[in-house]
Amino acid sequence: MPVEPRSLKRLGFLHIAPFSADDPGTGLRDAIDLFRYAEFLGFDSGWLRTRHMQYGVTAPGVMLGALSQATERIQLGNAVIPMEFENPLSLAEDLGVADLLSGGRLRPGLSVHPPSFDDDVKDVVFGPGWRYEDYGYDRIHRLVSLLRGEKVRDLGEYQGFGGDFDSETVQPLSPGLADRLSYGAGSLRSARWAGQSGLGLLVSNIGSTENGIRDFDEAQAAVIREYRSALAERRSGIAAQARVVVPTDETSPEQKVRYEEYVARRTPRTAKILGEKTIIAPDRIGSTEDIVEGLLGDPSFNLVDEFIVELPFELEPSDWRHILEQCANRIGPALGWRPAGER
């Protein structure tokens, strides 16, 4: 189904905040500096890619709190927080604190999936109760209810011990935070659920082949349309798309070779179906003209409200800055986007 190209309204970036095992603090501080730089360039949003037991940012609430104090305007998101590792109550508390510190700039992205570790590892990480836990959508429903201030308990009359500080709800509550949640969807079913639940939509370079559609861009366009058609009445959910973009304009010869080798290592996986139905989008590499032409010809890109540049985590801080500069100064404007300071 052809889609009319339209101007890009919002531009963000996604970072895993990688660090080395022998000096993790430097990597985390570098990530904060990168968010500051993206804000300076006029990006609308910066997103953290949460990982557990990997060399990337693992504590989304803590990192969002730090970023809230290091930036002033840019929206701060997660793409995504895997809910199998989270207690909805403690996560609601963490997000509430970070959102209030940021002045209401958080955009948490969420996902649900059963833990993928071997059983013996799950016993260590989650305890034996993981076998009976519900890792489905109900975890997000519980989080949403808590963020909206759903009453958790009844309080009796104050007895004079410890100060009268008890609350019937999760604290602190941050107005509007629940309305800024998004769900990371890769299938028609999950996109439909996100729309019906009134959440925003996050799609990435990983998707599913369904209804005989093998082309990644067409498959993702179908996912976004499913979300739009299912969106809860009277809600205007934001659909955001994240893709790896590697611009080669204004690179050094060594840098260009490194970019090309990075993409070449990853390209073979895009030519086949992984597992039962997983498909992966090719990285977009090339000049501004190449990248813009490819995006405008992508039916899924022309359906989203926001484009998020996935920074290749195997590259270096200077490379990430270069990619952000090219996207803010050349690629974004060529797509009709304007930096925040120019609107």
Q: Which pLDDT tens digits describe the chain residue by residue (343 residues)? A: 455 566 899 999 999 999 999 999 999 999 999 999 999 999 999 999 998 999 999 999 999 999 999 999 999 999 999 999 999 999 999 999 999 999 999 999 999 998 888 889 888 988 988 888 889 999 999 999 999 999 999 988 887 776 678 899 999 999 999 999 999 999 999 999 999 999 999 999 999 999 999 999 999 999 999 999 999 776 778 999 999 999 999 999 999 999 999 999 999 999 999 999 999 999 999 999 999 999 999 999 999 999 999 999 999 999 999 999 999 999 999 999 999 988 8
Q: What is the model's pLDDT at position 3?
A: 52
Q: What is the model's pLDDT at position 158?
A: 81
Q: Report whether 111 contacts 60 (CB < 8 A).
A: no
Q: Write down the number of H helices and E strands in the chain.
A: 11, 13
Rounded to an integer, what distance in angstroms lies between the CA atom of residue 126 and that of residue 61?
20
Q: pLDDT digits over 56-88, tens only? A: 999 999 999 999 999 999 999 999 999 999 999
Which residues lie closer than 8 Å to 236 by C-beta, 6 or more apart?
none
Rounded to an integer, what distance in angstroms lies between the CA atom of residue 153 and that of residue 138?
19
Q: Report whether 334 contacts 296 (CB < 8 A).
A: no
Q: What is the model's pLDDT at position 156?
A: 83
Q: Which domains does the chain have, with CATH numbers?
A: 10-152+170-342 (3.20.20.30)
pTM over 0.85: yes
Which residues lie closer than 8 Å to 313 by C-beta, 6 or more apart?
15, 16, 18, 49, 56
Peptide bond into 172 cis (omega under 30): yes
Query: Residue 233, class by beta-carbon neighbours within 10 Å (0-12 exposed, 13-18 middle, 19+ buried)?
Result: exposed
Rounded to an integer, what distance in angstroms lies between the CA atom of residue 97 and that of residue 99?
6
- DSSP 8-class letter at 77: E
CA angle 18, 205, 328 (to 5 degrees): 70
| Radius of gyration from C-alpha coordinates of the chain | 21
Strand duo 278-280 + 206-208: pairing: antiparallel
Q: What is the model's pLDDT at position 4?
A: 56
- In this structure, how many other beta carbons lie within 10 angstroms of the beta carbon of residue 226? 22
The CA distances from residue 124 to 51, 83, 129, 306, in Å, are 18, 18, 11, 39
Q: What is the model's pLDDT at position 1?
A: 47
Q: What is the model's pLDDT at position 157?
A: 83
Rounded to an integer, what distance in angstroms lies between the CA atom of residue 65 and that of residue 294?
36
Q: Report whether 84 contacts 115 (CB < 8 A).
A: yes
